[in-house]
Amino acid sequence: MATLEFPTAEQIKDLVEATRAGFKTGKTLSLDWRKKQLRGILRFCREKHSQILEALEIDLGKSSFEGMTSEVVSVEWEAHFALKHLNRWAAPEKVRTPLLHQPGRSYILKEPLGLVLIIGAWNYPVQLTLVPLVAAIAAGNAAVLKPSEVSQATSRLLATELPKYLDPNAFTVLQGGAEETTQILKLPFDHIFYTGNPQVARIVMEAAAKNLTPVTLELGGKSPCLVDESADLALTAKRLIWGKFFNCGQTCVAPDYLLVEKSVAEPLKTQLLKAVEKFWSGHPETHSEYGRIVNSRHFDRIMGLLDNSGKVLCGGKGDKAKRYIAPTLIADPPETSPLLKEEIFGPILPILEVDSISEAVNYVNDRPKPLVLYLFSENPKTQEFVLNHTSSGGVVLNHCLLHNLSPDLPFGGVGESGIGAYHGKAGFEALSHRKSVLKKPFYLDNPTIYPHLTGRLTKFTEQLIKIWRKVRA
**Minimum distance between the CB of residue 12 and ligand NAD, rounded to whole angstroms?**
13
Residues near 390 by Cβ (< 8 Å), separated by ≥ 6? 361, 364, 365, 373
Tell me the DSSP string of 206-230: HHHHHTT--EEEE-----EEEE-TT
**Minimum distance between the CB of residue 363 and ligand NAD, rounded to whole angstroms?**
20
The site string for ligand NAD over 350-379 (x = CB under 6 A, - otherwise) reads ---------------------x--------
**Minimum distance between the CB of residue 384 and ligand NAD, rounded to whole angstroms?**
26
Entry field: residues in the chain: 473
**Minimum distance between the CB of residue 209 and ligand NAD, rounded to whole angstroms?**
14
* Coil, strand or helix at 434: strand
CA distance 261 to 353: 6
Helix (H) or strand (E) holding 144: strand 142-146
User: Any contact of residue 178 with ligand NAD (CB under 6 A)?
Assistant: yes
Q: CB–CB of 196/121 below 8 Å?
A: yes
User: Any contact of residue 208 with ligand NAD (CB under 6 A)?
Assistant: no
CA distance 154 to 337: 34
Name which of 225, 50, 43 is nearest 130 in CA terms. Answer: 43
**Minimum distance between the CB of residue 44 and ligand NAD, rounded to whole angstroms?**
20
Which of the stretches 58-66, 80-88, 141-149, 361-369 binds ligand NAD when contact is defined by CB under 6 A?
Answer: 141-149
CA distance 371 to 36: 33
Which of the stretches 70-78, 195-203, 274-282, 378-386 binds ligand NAD when contact is defined by CB under 6 A?
Answer: 195-203
CA distance 13 to 319: 42
Rule CB under 6 A: choose which of 4, 83, 109, 200 binds ligand NAD.
200
Rule CB under 6 A: choose which of 3, 123, 383, 432 binds ligand NAD.
123
**Minimum distance between the CB of residue 9 and ligand NAD, rounded to whole angstroms?**
14
User: Any contact of residue 122 with ligand NAD (CB under 6 A)?
Assistant: yes
Which of the stretches 33-41, 175-183, 320-328, 383-391 binds ligand NAD when contact is defined by CB under 6 A?
Answer: 175-183
CA distance 311 to 342: 19
User: Any contact of residue 220 with ligand NAD (CB under 6 A)?
Assistant: yes
CA distance 405 to 419: 19
- Residue placing its CB nearer to ligand NAD in the complex, 240 or 275: 240
The site string for ligand NAD over 418-447 (x = CB under 6 A, - otherwise) reads x-----------------------------
Rule CB under 6 A: choose which of 92, 103, 177, 304 binds ligand NAD.
177
Catalytic amino acids? 218, 252
**Minimum distance between the CB of residue 327 and ligand NAD, rounded to whole angstroms?**
19
User: Any contact of residue 334 with ligand NAD (CB under 6 A)?
Assistant: no
Residue 388, Cβ density class (10 Å: 0-12 exposed, 13-18 middle, ≥19 buried): exposed
Number of residues that bind ligand NAD (CB under 6 A): 28
Which of the stretches 74-82, 99-107, 135-143, 177-185 binds ligand NAD when contact is defined by CB under 6 A?
Answer: 177-185
Half-sphere exposure of 318 (CA within 13 A, CB side): 26
Which of the stretches 3-11, 120-128, 272-280, 377-385 binds ligand NAD when contact is defined by CB under 6 A?
Answer: 120-128
User: What letter would DSSP give residue 174?
Assistant: E
Residue 204, Cβ density class (10 Å: 0-12 exposed, 13-18 middle, ≥19 buried): buried
Q: CB–CB of 427/135 below 8 Å?
A: yes
User: Any contact of residue 272 with ligand NAD (CB under 6 A)?
Assistant: no
Contact positions vs ligand NAD (CB under 6 A):
119-123, 128, 146, 148-150, 177-178, 181-182, 195-197, 200, 203, 218-220, 252, 343, 345, 371, 413, 418
